[in-house]
Amino acid sequence: MQRKVLWIMAACLLAAPFGLRLLIRAISPRPANLGVTNGRLAPCSALPNCVSTEALDDRHAIAPLTFDGDPAYAFARLKSTVTAQSGAKSITTQDDYLHFEFTTPLMGFIDDVEFRLDAEGRVIHFRSASRLGRSDLGTNRKRMETIRRAFGASEPSRHGPPC
């Protein structure tokens, strides 16, 4: 009998993280304000768990990605760069808009990361926001700076797609 109880306790301990991940997913549905509205990404809430290139306040503001050459090629490079990041899952792909979900490995928290191509301005705007919690301990800003470095490192020496 005691052995059976130990097995049941061990099974519960092993299953707990999966149950917690399911609970987190259930209480954090995809926000309805994602996407581009009037040519802009949604603004960050007042909470400190979001960064955006279109934010006007210092707490949330971050510089956009810049590129030279063909905008479509730059956006395709960005998609490849983001897809290669740990925890990234592509949700929406359009010619001028990308939406990814990033899931944290341990607890399964989900962050929404969006990109908007401004071909004329030769920049890519983005927004990265946590679905749950007040603070993200700087995770969204760090993630976007990692993507910025990787995107810059993947830039070809010539402009436009390879022949």
What's the token pair of residue 20?
């917690």
Q: Enumerate the β-bridge partners of residue 123.
A: 66, 118
What's the token pair of residue 156?
């070809």
> Is the per-residue pLDDT at 25 higher than 60?
no
* Per-residue model confidence (pLDDT) at position 124: 98
Tell me how far apart the alpha carbons of residues 72 and 17 are, in angstroms, rounded to a whole number.
41
- Distant-in-sequence, close-in-space partners of 19: CB < 8 Å, separation ≥ 6: none
Residues 17-27: what's their mean pLDDT? 58
Share of the chain above pLDDT 70, in %: 79
Residues 100-122: what's their mean pLDDT? 93
At 10, the pLDDT band (50, 70, 90 cuts) reads low
| Cβ atoms < 10 Å from Cβ of 106 | 8
Cα dist from 119 to 39, 67, 74, 123, whole Å: 12, 9, 9, 7
**Predicted TM-score of the model (pTM):** 0.81
Spell out where 1-74 has E strands. 36-37, 40-41, 50-52, 65-66
